[in-house]
Amino acid sequence: DTAVSQTPKYLVTQMGNDKSIKCEQNLGHDTMYWYKQDSKKFLKIMFSYNNKELIINETVPNRFSPKSPDKAHLNLHINSLELGDSAVYFCASSHGWENIQYFGAGTRLSVL
């Protein structure tokens, strides 16, 4: 059983499109995160979210938005995709705000 799963694994799309990446965790965690790994392999936090608080990294464009239908899911919506959005996006989860986070396998987004 995959603890943190992301779909799709690969996503190829045109500039200007709107896309979503789904994330689900079956660990019973109540806190979830989205990270972006750019071409320099730099893993950077985008959002941290639990049912009490959403923390947005100030460098994230407002074209990106997290949507959480329930505690086990945190989806990432991206509007008006740009070339610079091409990256690998990782979802993660933790119990509360505990430091140890568990990651999904990543979604490789390519914007053409």
Partner 1 sequence: DQQVKQNSPSLSVQEGRISILNCDYTNSMFDYFLWYKKYPAEGPTFLISISSIKDKNEDGRFTVFLNKSAKHLSLHIVPSQPGDSAVYFCAASAPVGTGANNLFFGTGTRLTVIP
**Contact positions vs partner 1 (CB under 8 A):** 4, 35, 40-45, 48, 52-53, 55, 90, 92, 96-106
Residues 6+ positions from 36 with CB-CB distance below 8 Å: 43, 44, 46, 87, 88, 89, 90
Least separation in angstroms between residue 67's CB and partner 1 is: 19
Which CB atom, from 14 or from 39, has the smaller least distance to partner 1?
A: 39
Which CB atom, from 55 or from 112, has the smaller least distance to partner 1?
A: 55
Least separation in angstroms between residue 48's CB and partner 1 is: 6
Least separation in angstroms between residue 47's CB and partner 1 is: 10
Dihedral class, residue 72 (left if φ above 0, else alpha if ψ from -120 to 50, else beta): alpha
Least separation in angstroms between residue 15's CB and partner 1 is: 26
Which CB atom, from 14 or from 40, has the smaller least distance to partner 1?
A: 40
C-alpha R_g of the chain: 13
* Contact in structure between 39 and 87 (CB atoms under 8 Å): yes
Which CB atom, from 14 or from 59, has the smaller least distance to partner 1?
A: 59
Query: CA–CA separation, 71 vs 83, rounded Å?
Result: 31
